[in-house]
């Protein structure tokens, strides 16, 4: 038995959320303030440890719902019966192997093919209580309106203090209609009237992000957790011997008790070793006795670090280790609670859901890798019946901001939370991406496979970005951050956040940015693509003897050859051809066969793109901008359209290199830069030729640019210019 899906309405930013859960582990990711903590909160209020009482606050309702409520109370414009409150719908799937005794009375459909039971929890206002609320507000308004600036504020104050008198928590089993593949809300069983024990069906527990972790001296966070772990496992058969020894040794010395604790906490200490990534015998935790009075464990156990022959207090270790170790203690304790270890006769619930919030707190990347690599084993071992424990069905949700954790996850387990245009949250399964890529006619499956490997291995931080810059190679990777700072320094607009203060991810994609278009669209962020125009022309294809190759029809075989932009007729850049496919076809229909003319004449505003009807087209409302080399005038008054970043940079920064010839170690033929024709006095080699003949290593060239930048206390890069196409793109990204 498992939870297949959760639907949530009207809770904070989660106005209408649908979340699919994986059979074992679901990883929820997303930027800050996109509803991950809200999901934990609403689950806890409906089915967790806060469900025994009404813990909802008025501000838990989303803004739109509160507005409708106020309008309805004020002037009856909205029919209240049709309005929903906060609701949580849980879809539970079962199979022929599951025991159905706890849910049999909740089955509203005798169809044997229907193997879904639906539980609905709502915090809602029925029509009778709505009318009472309306009356009470009139009374409240007459008494307290003078304290508020307007009627809306008066209503907000009233609702915050008195909503619990009118809104009620209701629990239902709702019919699932297999014909429409959705719930039929009109057919339900009232679980409260039927006195159904929901805890037998579903058990929810969580490890919150706000863990009580500190390394202040005399604080005993881990020591307190060791006491809790004992309390939950003391009747566990596998530890009964250790418990007996403990009780017998209570009257003896601390040293004897500490020896018993070695057995008592062996399982969890071994797990800590596995997670901590510590060197053998260097830093190992122990639980030792520190008896002050004759009580069982509470206040009398201390977690220390076993450092060779010395026991060091837990506060001597960093917050990262404390956080990781405390999580393991807490998870082990919760697994014991799921199993109901303290009651041999009690059975675990049919469905058990564990929520771990932001496990990365205070931990460095290596610890985060270790956590996500090992957590599956810990959860499986705790639920599969090993060590003579009870087995039970366990599903786990982990929320995270950590790109390091994401990089170690199964791609299919990831759920992406993002805000839509209305500022409400939607949940997207990364599995859906595979479906989108499979629709591609050419290489869709291969593209998805590449994307999946690339993102998990290299650039998973893009999931947490607000904007992205997709670049071609090492040169741009090294220089783009400097260019962003340079633009921030030069652009004095105070109402626009500096580029380096924005949440921008820079990703190196070669000239394959077209593979990422569905992904960028999927996660819904703005993106700037910086690419090369890669100009070329068609020439005869010759063999090694210089003889022109022939086609089967006897005509000359042609091939594309790189050439300066002003001599070119086409581009070899796949990204340009992909994003401008429709526009190119339209242009060539009217203007002939010169593809390069289209790119040369394209206005900067037409480089902003949006996808409509599955085709990219220019639009001022677009969220993509694709920039490439354009015609630019240098300080000598010469116009030039570069083919690559290197010749674009040489064209406007030639004097920088001439003045620092001895410092640009990455360049060969360095004298080509200032060599001039004796007759005309013009440079003998143009920027295209310099890029072709002088670059030894592109990354080294980028480093030389940075090393030769003007510095005061910090580099200000004022002695070189940014190529126009990159500057245009970065300014667009900054201001949009």
User: Which one is predicted more confidently, 423 or 391?
Assistant: 391
Please report the pLDDT score of residue 440 as a whole number: 82
Please report the pLDDT score of residue 510 as a whole number: 85
Please report the pLDDT score of residue 239 as a whole number: 62
DSSP state of 679: T
User: In terms of domains, do 147 and 248 share one?
Assistant: no
pLDDT band at 278; cut points 50, 70, 90: very low
Buried b or exposed e, range 113-123, using 16+ CB within 10 angstroms: eebbbbbbbbb
Query: Is residue 367 assigned to a domain?
Result: no
Lowest pLDDT segment from 27-36, 57-66, 86-95: 27-36
User: In terms of domains, do 309 and 225 share one?
Assistant: yes
Please report the pLDDT score of residue 554 as a whole number: 87
User: In terms of domains, do 175 and 264 share one?
Assistant: no
pTM: 0.84
Cα(124)–Cα(190) distance, integer angstroms = 14
* Rg for the chain, CA atoms, rounded: 33
Listed in order, strand segments (DSSP E) in 462-534 are 467-471, 504-508, 526-530
DSSP state of 511: T
Please report the pLDDT score of residue 42 as a whole number: 97
CA 30, 31, 32, 33 torsion-angle sign = negative
Mean pLDDT, all residues of the chain? 86
How many C-beta atoms lie closer than 10 Å to residue 720's C-beta?
20
Query: Is residue 482 assigned to a domain?
Result: no
User: In terms of domains, do 543 and 597 share one?
Assistant: yes
Lowest pLDDT segment from 54-68, 74-88, 170-184: 74-88
User: In terms of domains, do 543 and 662 share one?
Assistant: yes
Give the residue numbers spanning the domain of 602: 535-735
User: Which one is predicted more confidently, 105 or 442?
Assistant: 105
Please report the pLDDT score of residue 454 as a whole number: 84
Task: Tell which of 317, 351, 369 closes a domain.
Answer: 317
Query: Is residue 707 assigned to a domain?
Result: yes
Tell me what percent of the residues of the chain surpass a pLDDT of 90: 54
Please report the pLDDT score of residue 59 as a whole number: 95
pLDDT over 90 (residue 181): no
Please report the pLDDT score of residue 244 as a whole number: 59
Please report the pLDDT score of residue 253 as a whole number: 57
User: In terms of domains, do 88 and 232 share one?
Assistant: no
pLDDT band at 180; cut points 50, 70, 90: confident
Task: Please tell me which of 142-146, 270-274, 587-591 the model is most confident about, judged by mean pLDDT.
Answer: 587-591
Please report the pLDDT score of residue 218 as a whole number: 46
Please report the pLDDT score of residue 506 as a whole number: 94
CB distance 327 to 398 below 8 Å:
no
pLDDT, one tens digit per residue, over 367-376 is 888 888 888 8
pLDDT band at 223; cut points 50, 70, 90: low
Dihedral of the alpha carbons of 331, 332, 334, 340, in degrees to the nearest 10: 160
Listed in order, strand segments (DSSP E) in 2-101 are 2-11, 14-20, 25-30, 86-93
CA nearest neighbour of 396 among 354, 359, 357: 354
Query: Is residue 158 assigned to a domain?
Result: yes
Query: Is residue 41 assigned to a domain?
Result: no
Please report the pLDDT score of residue 361 as a whole number: 76
| Burial zone of 416 (CB within 10 Å; 0-12 exposed, 13-18 middle, 19+ buried) | buried
Question: Residue 288: which residues within 8 A CB-CB, separation 6 or more?
Answer: 254, 257, 258, 261, 301, 302, 304, 311
pLDDT band at 275; cut points 50, 70, 90: low
Query: Is residue 527 assigned to a domain?
Result: no
CB distance 412 to 431 below 8 Å:
yes
In sequence order, what are the beta bridge partners of 626? 529
Query: Does residue 669 come out as left (phi exceeding 0), alpha (psi in the -120 to 50 range) or beta?
Result: left
User: In terms of domains, do 107 and 9 share one?
Assistant: yes
Q: Give the total number of structural domains in the chain.
A: 3
pLDDT band at 347; cut points 50, 70, 90: very high
Query: Does residue 110 come out as left (phi exceeding 0), alpha (psi in the -120 to 50 range) or beta?
Result: alpha
Please report the pLDDT score of residue 317 as a whole number: 53
Please report the pLDDT score of residue 495 as a whole number: 84
Please report the pLDDT score of residue 265 as a whole number: 76
CB distance 720 to 674 below 8 Å:
no
Query: Is residue 671 assigned to a domain?
Result: yes
Please give the span between the terminal C-alpha atoms of the chain, in angstroms, as a whole number. 47
pLDDT over 90 (residue 21): yes
pLDDT, one tens digit per residue, over 461-492 is 888 899 999 999 889 999 999 999 999 998 87
pLDDT, one tens digit per residue, over 536-559 is 999 998 889 889 999 988 899 989
Phi, psi angles (nearest 5°) of residue 117: -110, 135
User: In terms of domains, do 169 and 222 share one?
Assistant: no
User: In terms of domains, do 108 and 221 share one?
Assistant: no
pLDDT band at 274; cut points 50, 70, 90: low
Tell me what percent of the residues of the chain surpass a pLDDT of 70: 85
User: In terms of domains, do 182 and 286 share one?
Assistant: no
Helix 724-735 / helix 474-490 crossing angle, nearest 10 deg: 60
Cα(595)–Cα(570) distance, integer angstroms = 5
| Burial zone of 547 (CB within 10 Å; 0-12 exposed, 13-18 middle, 19+ buried) | exposed
User: In terms of domains, do 298 and 232 share one?
Assistant: yes
pLDDT, one tens digit per residue, over 106-136 is 888 878 888 999 999 999 999 999 999 999 9
Rounded mean pLDDT, 366-390: 88
DSSP state of 663: G
User: In terms of domains, do 107 and 240 share one?
Assistant: no
Look at residue 536 and give its three-state secondary structure. strand
Per 3-state DSSP, what percentage of the chain is helix, strand, and coil (rounded to 5)? 45, 25, 35
pLDDT over 70 (residue 215): no
CB distance 484 to 499 below 8 Å:
yes
Phi, psi angles (nearest 5°) of residue 213: -110, 130
pLDDT band at 282; cut points 50, 70, 90: very low
How many Å is the maximal CA-CA distance in the chain?
A: 106
pLDDT over 80 (residue 272): no
Question: Residue 464: which residues within 8 A CB-CB, separation 6 or more?
Answer: 29, 30, 31, 401, 403, 503, 505
CB distance 349 to 200 below 8 Å:
yes
Query: Is residue 391 assigned to a domain?
Result: no
Q: Please spell the DSSP secondary structure of 399-443, one letter per residue.
A: EE--HHHHHTS-GGGEEEEEE-TTS-EEEEETHHHHHHHHT-SSS
């Amino acid at each position: 038995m498992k939870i297949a899906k959760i639907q949530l309405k009207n809770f904070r930013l989660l106005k209408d959320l649908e979340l699919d859960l994986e059979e074992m582990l679901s990883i929820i990711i997303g930027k800050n303030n996109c509803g991950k903590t809200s999901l934990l909160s609403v689950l806890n209020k409906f089915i967790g440890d806060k469900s025994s009482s009404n813990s909802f606050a008025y501000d838990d309702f989303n803004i739109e719902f509160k507005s409708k409520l106020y309008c309805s109370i004020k002037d009856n414009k909205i029919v209240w019966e049709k309005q929903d409150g906060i609701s949580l719908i849980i879809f539970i799937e079962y199979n022929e192997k599951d025991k159905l005794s706890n849910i049999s009375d909740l089955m509203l459909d005798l169809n044997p093919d229907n193997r879904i039971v639906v539980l609905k929890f709502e915090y809602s206002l029925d029509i009778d209580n709505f009318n009472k609320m309306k009356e009470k507000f009139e009374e409240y308004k007459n008494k307290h309106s003078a304290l508020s600036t307007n009627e809306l504020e008066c209503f907000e104050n009233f609702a915050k203090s008195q909503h619990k008198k009118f809104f009620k928590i209701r629990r239902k089993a709702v019919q699932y209609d297999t014909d429409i593949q959705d719930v039929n809300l009109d057919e339900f069983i009232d679980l409260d009237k039927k006195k159904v024990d929901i805890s037998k069906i579903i058990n929810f527990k969580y490890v919150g992000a706000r863990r009580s972790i500190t390394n202040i001296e005399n604080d005993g966070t881990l020591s307190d957790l060791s006491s809790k772990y004992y309390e939950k496992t003391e009747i566990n058969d596998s530890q009964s011997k250790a418990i007996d020894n403990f009780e017998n040794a209570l009257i003896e010395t601390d040293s004897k008790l500490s020896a018993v604790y070695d057995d008592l906490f062996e399982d969890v200490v071994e797990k800590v070793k596995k997670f901590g990534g510590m060197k053998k015998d260097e830093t190992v935790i122990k639980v030792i006795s520190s008896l002050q009075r004759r009580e069982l464990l509470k206040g009398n156990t201390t977690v220390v670090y076993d450092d060779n022959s010395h026991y060091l207090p837990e506060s001597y270790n960093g917050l990262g280790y404390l956080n990781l170790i405390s999580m393991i203690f807490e998870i082990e304790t919760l697994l014991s609670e799921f199993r109901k270890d303290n009651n041999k006769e009690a059975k675990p619930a049919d469905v058990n859901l564990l929520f771990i919030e932001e496990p990365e707190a205070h931990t460095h990347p290596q610890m985060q890798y270790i956590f996500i690599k090992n957590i599956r084993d810990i959860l499986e071992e705790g639920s599969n019946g090993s060590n003579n424990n009870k087995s039970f069905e366990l599903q786990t949700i982990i929320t995270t901001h950590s790109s390091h954790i994401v990089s170690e996850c199964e791609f299919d387990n990831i759920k992406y939370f993002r805000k839509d245009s209305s500022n409400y949250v939607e949940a997207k399964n990364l599995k859906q991406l595979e479906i989108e890529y499979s629709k591609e006619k050419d290489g869709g499956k291969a593209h998805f496979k590449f994307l999946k490997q690339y993102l998990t291995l290299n650039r998973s931080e893009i999931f947490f970005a607000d904007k992205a810059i997709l670049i071609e190679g090492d040169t741009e990777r090294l220089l783009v951050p400097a260019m962003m700072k340079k633009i921030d320094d030069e652009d004095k607009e105070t109402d626009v956040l500096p580029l380096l203060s924005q949440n921008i991810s820079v990703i190196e994609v070669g000239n394959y940015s077209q593979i990422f278009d569905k992904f960028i669209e999927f996660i819904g962020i703005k993106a700037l693509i910086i690419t090369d125009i890669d100009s070329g022309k068609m020439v005869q294809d010759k063999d090694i003897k210089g003889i022109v190759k022939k086609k089967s029809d006897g005509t000359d075989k042609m091939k594309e050859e790189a050439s300066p932009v002003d001599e070119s007729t086409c581009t070899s850049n796949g990204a340009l051809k992909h994003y401008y496919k429709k526009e190119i076809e339209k242009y060539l229909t009217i203007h002939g066969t010169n593809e390069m003319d289209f790119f040369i004449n394209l206005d900067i505003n037409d480089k902003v793109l949006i996808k409509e009807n599955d085709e990219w087209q220019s639009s001022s409302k677009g969220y993509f901008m694709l920039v490439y080399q354009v015609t630019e005038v240098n300080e000598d008054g010469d116009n030039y359209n570069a083919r690559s970043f290197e010749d674009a940079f040489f064209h406007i920064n030639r004097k920088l290199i001439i003045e620092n010839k001895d410092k640009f170690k990455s360049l060969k033929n360095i004298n080509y830069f200032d060599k001039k024709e004796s007759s005309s006095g013009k440079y003998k080699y143009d920027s295209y030729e310099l890029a072709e003949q002088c670059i030894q290593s592109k990354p080294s060239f980028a480093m030389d640019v940075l090393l030769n930048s003007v510095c005061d206390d910090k580099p200000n890069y004022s002695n070189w210019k940014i190529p126009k196409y990159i500057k245009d793109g970065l300014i667009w990204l900054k201001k949009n």
